[in-house]
Chains A and B, each alone.
Chain A
Amino acid sequence: MIRNMQGPTRREVLHAIGMMAGTAVLYQAMEALGHAKETQFAGPPNLSGARPGARVVVLGAGLAGMLAAYELAKAGYQVQILEYNNRPGGRNWSLYGGDTYTELGGATQKVGFADGNYLNPGPWRIPYHHRALLHYCKAFGVALEPFIQMNQQALVQSSKAFGGKPMRYRELHADWDGNVAELLSKAIDNRGLDSVMTRDDADRLRLALRDWGALDQNFKYTKNYRSSRRRGFERAQGGGVLGEPIPSDVYPFKDILDSGIWRIVSQHMSIDHQHAMFQPVGGMGMIGRGFAKQVEGKIKYNQKVTAISQQGGKVTVTHTDTGTGVTGTTEADYCVCTIPLGVLSQIDVDCSPGLDAAIRAVPYSNSVKVGLEFKRRFWEEEEAIYGGISFTDREISMISYPSGKLHSDGPAVILGAYTFGPASYKFAGMTPEERIQRALEQGSVFHPGRYKEEFIGGATVAWSRVPFTLGCCAMWNEETRKEHYQTLCAVDNRLVLAGEHASYVGCWMEGAILSSLDAVTRLHKRALEA
């Protein structure tokens, strides 16, 4: 999530160094923010003993809704799920060849990808510590494979460095570490750290920096065998007569600073982007399909919910079939509602004023993704880039190479844009065709002579125009967390909300899962006490 790639401030540089050196103070700050901890999962809830005949209506067949239905059915409830879309999964979704997608405003795309190729419009990677999601993937038979997040052979492009030419991540990273190590070692020579450490420790640190930064015997980061073992050789090692490698030149530190490489390096140090990461074999949508098999026959599709009543000692949900236009009601003793808040705030919900206010208090972020299909994997065949991400300060922010079916022939899909912030609104405001063209244009900086030439076709999803969410993810802030979060999560008479919006793992599938488990556990307790 590279916000932008302007030159770093001194504070930012220190921050990046701090992260690399594992500074205790920074770690404590991160821990206080909840960023350094794994998510909470102690195992499935194992609910049991529902009152005979007790019914639950679940609104939404995304991961939170389907898991709620699965766990409650296991506990003995009669469960009915109502879903707006004609498919399970919600934001867990892949677009495959042959799929049709119509966004708000009416623009319709018919996806033309080759068999097996896909775009994941929403979630696309799973951190190793999202234990709840991983647990259910295994339990529900969803096959996973590695997702390659970091690839040193991929490229980094900045309009502010190297004349806009894309550079190898590997070279920039090596030169960053080497230069920082050399500078710190100079500071030690100049007694710059005397006030913070003993002379003995400073000497030990100096030696450590030589190893860490690949410095030479004089504590300089220069063109030699050591630095080239990291950044790559001018002429690679080989066999026979010309087998001797030729070291490569290192780049001036000014250019390395300008490149913004430290932002990307530190991003990969965040616990959300550390290896190992996973993806389902065959597209993220396989998780939704896997969950749906566990609640087979319980999902009613194409249902638009218009009202939720809690009158008369029961829950009554009014919903309209979007295919037939027929409006009906579903009654139950309890309701688990996973409808995104931006949509829910427009539905007539019979609940406490506090919950009503909470539902209305949380806006949604935006993001745009573009998938581009190419005739062949030229990035693998010609550049040895196998998966991973190339970063840019252009609006597309990155392109990501497929982690699946590595080293195979035939067409493949690159994630050609993953926009954040202002660029998301700009991209979402375009027609799908314009988004695809813009992504092709901007991404061609990485692979000139190939990108446009080998392009077949694309698909794109702008989350602000997604009919079933009206946005990407819930955007909490300190004030709304304090004022509304607990109310949003609390059981309100016979109704409980669940989804990523009712979690502190916002925008991740793990948040939806953990929220759902917590919600059904509390709802079940309430039902037994009633």
Chain B
Amino acid sequence: MRFVLFAAALLAAPALAQKPAKAPPPPHPGAEVYQNVCQACHMANALGGVGAGKIPALAKNGALEAAGYPIMVVTGGKGAMPWFRGSLTDTQIADVINYVRSNFGNKYKDKVTPAMIAEQGLPAPRGGNREG
């Protein structure tokens, strides 16, 4: 079986050489953070959800226009949402904010940097039990 696959790869190789396929763009560094953290609440499609309370949609979200707002919310938390300062690095926070602000129907051009997180972000609370 291994031999067959190897042969198939050889056969495919010239075709690739003739017509180079466009390499897929590398995944956005914030995408992984979004999938592993944010979509637990905001959903894979960033549409949030509504029950007794609401988890806001991040898709097409006008409140994300000023980058300072998501910086404050992700570092410090808001309502039921806990703070992520300390559990995510400043780079991860910047990455994920950039990812959300340039996906899900959001088209904000300016970029957030880890330095901005360090400067504008809220500190993680002292004596906080991150895991409840």
Q: B2 to chain A: closest CB distance in Å?
A: 25
Complex: how many Å from CA A342 to CA B44? Answer: 21
Q: Are A425 and B40 in contact (CB under 8 A)?
A: yes
Q: Which listed residue (A470, A478, A506) contacts B53, Cβ 8 A?
A: A470
Q: Contacts A84-B52, A422-B87, A473-B132 given: A464-B126 contact, CB under 8 Å? A: no
- A296-309 near B? 1/0 per residue, CB < 8 Å: 00000000110000
Q: Are B35 and A363 in contact (CB under 8 A)?
A: no
Q: Are B43 and A475 in contact (CB under 8 A)?
A: no
Please give, as numbers and ranges, the residues of chain B lying within 8 Å of A84 by CB-CB distance. Answer: 51-52
Is the C-beta of A336 less than 8 angstroms from some C-beta in chain B? no
Complex: how many Å from CA A365 to CA B81? Answer: 8
Q: Contacts A343-B80, A477-B125, A479-B125 given: A366-B53 contact, CB under 8 Å? A: no
Q: Are B80 and A477 in contact (CB under 8 A)?
A: no
Q: A198 to chain B: closest CB distance in Å?
A: 39
Complex: how many Å from CA A426 to CA B81? Answer: 15
Q: Contacts A462-B40, A475-B132 given: A104-B79 contact, CB under 8 Å? A: no
Q: Which listed residue (A342, A421, A473) contacts B130, Cβ 8 A?
A: A421
Q: Which listed residue (B40, B81, B83) contacts A465, Cβ 8 A?
A: B40
Q: Which listed residue (A421, A467, A480) contacts B52, Cβ 8 A?
A: A467
Is the C-beta of A284 less than 8 angstroms from some C-beta in chain B? no
Q: Which listed residue (A1, A365, A468, A470) contacts B41, Cβ 8 A?
A: A470
Interface centre among B35, B41, B81 (most CB of A within 10 A): B41
Q: A84 to chain B: closest CB distance in Å?
A: 4
Q: Are B36 and A429 in contact (CB under 8 A)?
A: yes
Is the C-beta of B39 less than 8 angstroms from some C-beta in chain A? yes
Q: Which listed residue (B44, B51, B132) contacts A470, Cβ 8 A?
A: B51
From 22 to 73 in chain B, residues with beta carbon under 8 angstroms from any chain A beta carbon are: 35-41, 43-44, 47-55
Interface centre among B54, B77, B79 (most CB of A within 10 A): B79
Q: Are A339 and B52 in contact (CB under 8 A)?
A: yes
Closest to A339 in B: B52
Q: Are A342 and B80 in contact (CB under 8 A)?
A: yes
Is the C-beta of A364 less than 8 angstroms from some C-beta in chain B? yes
From 1 to 31 in chain A, residues with beta carbon under 8 angstroms from any chain B beta carbon are: 1, 3
Please give, as numbers and ranges, the residues of chain B lying within 8 Å of A366 by CB-CB distance. Answer: 40, 132
From 412 to 470 in chain A, residues with beta carbon under 8 angstroms from any chain B beta carbon are: 420-422, 424-429, 462, 464-470
Closest to A343 in B: B53
Closest to A478 in B: B127
Is the C-beta of B131 less than 8 angstroms from some C-beta in chain A? yes
Q: Are B52 and A104 in contact (CB under 8 A)?
A: no
Q: Are A429 and B80 in contact (CB under 8 A)?
A: no
Closest to B50 in A: A104
Is the C-beta of A346 less than 8 angstroms from some C-beta in chain B? yes
Closest to A85 in B: B52
Q: Contacts A425-B36, A425-B40, A465-B41 given: A472-B127 contact, CB under 8 Å? A: no
Q: B103 to chain A: closest CB distance in Å?
A: 16
Q: Are B40 and A429 in contact (CB under 8 A)?
A: yes
Is the C-beta of B82 less than 8 angstroms from some C-beta in chain A? yes
Q: Which listed residue (A342, A364, A462, A478) contacts B132, Cβ 8 A?
A: A364
- A223-241 near B? 1/0 per residue, CB < 8 Å: 0000000000000000000
Is the C-beta of A358 less than 8 angstroms from some C-beta in chain B? no
Complex: how many Å from CA A528 to CA B44? Answer: 52
Q: How large is the interface on A (under 10, 10 to 19, 20 to 34, 35 or more residues)?
A: 35 or more
Q: Are B52 and A468 in contact (CB under 8 A)?
A: yes
Is the C-beta of A67 less than 8 angstroms from some C-beta in chain B? no
Q: Contacts A422-B37, A475-B130, A475-B132 given: A104-B81 contact, CB under 8 Å? A: no
Q: Contacts A365-B131, A429-B36 given: A104-B82 contact, CB under 8 Å? A: no
Please give, as numbers and ranges, the residues of chain A lying within 8 Å of B55 by CB-CB distance. Answer: 104, 470
Q: Contacts A422-B87, A429-B44 given: A104-B51 contact, CB under 8 Å? A: yes
Closest to B47 in A: A105
Q: Are B53 and A346 in contact (CB under 8 A)?
A: yes
Is the C-beta of B129 less than 8 angstroms from some C-beta in chain A? yes
Is the C-beta of B20 less than 8 angstroms from some C-beta in chain A? no
Closest to A368 in B: B40
Is the C-beta of B128 less than 8 angstroms from some C-beta in chain A? yes
Closest to B81 in A: A363
Please give, as numbers and ranges, the residues of chain B lying within 8 Å of A304 by CB-CB distance. Answer: 52
Closest to B79 in A: A345
Q: A6 to chain B: closest CB distance in Å?
A: 16
Complex: how many Å from CA A507 to CA B132? Answer: 8
Is the C-beta of A341 less than 8 angstroms from some C-beta in chain B? yes
Q: Which listed residue (B43, B49, B83, B132) contacts A472, Cβ 8 A?
A: B132
List the 8 closest A-B pairs by CB distance, nearest first. Answer: A342-B80, A365-B132, A467-B51, A104-B49, A478-B127, A477-B128, A428-B40, A343-B53
23 residue pairs bridging A and B, Cβ less than 8 Å apart: A84-B51, A84-B52, A104-B51, A105-B47, A305-B52, A342-B53, A343-B53, A363-B77, A363-B78, A365-B82, A365-B131, A367-B132, A421-B87, A422-B37, A424-B40, A426-B37, A429-B35, A429-B39, A470-B55, A473-B132, A478-B126, A479-B126, A480-B125
Task: Give me 10 other A-B pairs in contact (C-beta within 8 A), A343-B53, A475-B130 excluded.
Answer: A104-B41, A304-B52, A343-B51, A345-B53, A365-B130, A421-B87, A421-B130, A467-B52, A469-B52, A477-B127
